Amino acid sequence: MILSPGNYAARLENYSLEELIAERNRLICALQVYECRDPSDQVFCICPSPDVVYKVSNMYLLEVTRLINERFNPSTAHNFIIRHPCKDENQVDAWSTQSIPFEPKDWRRDMRDELKQALSNIVPNDDCLYAAFICNDTCASDVENVLFYNIGAPAFYRLSKNGLCFEGRFDSNPFTFPLGRELGNYYHYAMQNEFSLWREKDILSAWKEVPIPTPTRASRPHLFWYALKKAKNSAFCEHPVPKRFGVSIQLHIPELAWCNLAILIKPLLDGIISAFHMQNAPRDKILFERLSKLTDCTAAEVEHFLYESKTVVLGKRPVVSTYRESVKWNPQDDACVACRVIIDRDEKYRNWSISGKLFSVQVQ
């Protein structure tokens, strides 16, 4: 089926600049083959005919060339720069005028694709994958989304087999574009285990070897929320609710167990952080029943866990609500500016468990 030029252009809307150039070159090659053919050669019973394909391909060429010209705009050509790993620096550094959203378009898609290529050149070692995001926008974002989820989990699997360590700062911009232009967003990826931007201040809660069901790619926050809620962990509620906080986690797992932290980090963090909030919303029996089915506890237990005050070290908020046929979690994860997850693999473990601590932070 032949697309109209407009529908053809719409199909290319999310193509990167490199993909658009490749499509243009493919069209040119096809046009040249037609133009160099022997006119005496007759082709029968082909629909659409080569003549029609030739005319339509020329119209497509106009559309793809227009899209390339729009993408290659000198005013946006320096919206980002990425420094790839080299012999002396096993790290990736990137500066940009805007952060990369989920499923980006325009130049941010090009940046994401180049960033993934740069990450593939980091050499893994015995350390965790370390990542940091610094932004001069005082409105905090979910650090794990900016650094991992929006880039795509496959880019981090081979680098995070020992763990993840990441941080975020949203109130400073100490970095300058290498060509002298200031840019407000900075990404950094390397191999290291320690925090660089924040240090631990007060321990807010701690827990040790809390059993959890074996996670999968489809795991959701309720798995980790329920495990911590029913566990006997230490909470130190005398500390004020922190504006910023960090979390340090150890995942104790069987030696050969599957574990892709780039996939698990979001439900893991959302579940843990939610466990230290108190629900601040009207009591909802439908919500209690849905969480009861998800966690295999009674609706009364769910209600108790949501509204108990003994572990409310991160304050009150509407932390969970009904959504379509399930539930939606809403922890204050944008206030989590430092996180370290260490994978502890050992043949002595037959099942998964989790240890960790929640702490307030101060600037290093």
- Give CA separation, 25 vs 4, 28, 31, 57, 60, in Å: 20, 5, 10, 12, 12
- Answer yes or no: is pLDDT of 178 > 60: no
Indicate the residue among 141, 159, 191 that finishes a domain: 191
CA distance 163 to 124: 11
The set of residues, in sequence order, having a beta carbon less than 8 Å from that of 170 and lying 6+ positions away, is: 134, 135, 137, 138, 139, 140, 141, 337
Same domain, 354 and 278: yes
pLDDT value, residue 72: 63
pLDDT value, residue 248: 98
Same domain, 53 and 106: no
- Answer yes or no: is pLDDT of 249 > 60: yes
Same domain, 134 and 212: no
- Rounded to an integer, the average pLDDT of 308-333 is 94
Same domain, 86 and 62: no
Enclosing domain of residue 28: 5-71
Indicate the residue among 18, 46, 71 that finishes a domain: 71
Same domain, 161 and 88: yes
> Would you tell me how many other CB atoms lie within 10 Å of the CB of residue 134?
20
Same domain, 16 and 85: no
Same domain, 146 and 219: no
Same domain, 311 and 249: yes
Average pLDDT, the chain: 89
Same domain, 221 and 173: no
Same domain, 242 and 357: yes
pLDDT value, residue 160: 96
DSSP 175: -
Indicate the residue among 191, 221, 241 that finishes a domain: 191
Same domain, 33 and 156: no
CA distance 331 to 90: 34
- Answer yes or no: is pLDDT of 75 > 60: no
CA distance 149 to 361: 24
pLDDT value, residue 267: 95
Closest CA to 340 of 272, 239, 253: 272
Contact between 175 and 95 under an 8 Å Cβ cutoff? The reply is yes
Number of domains in the chain: 3
- Answer yes or no: is pLDDT of 138 > 80: no
CA distance 157 to 303: 37
Give the CATH number for residue 184: 3.30.1330
Q: Provide the 3-class DSSP secondary structure of residue 183.
A: coil
pLDDT value, residue 337: 96
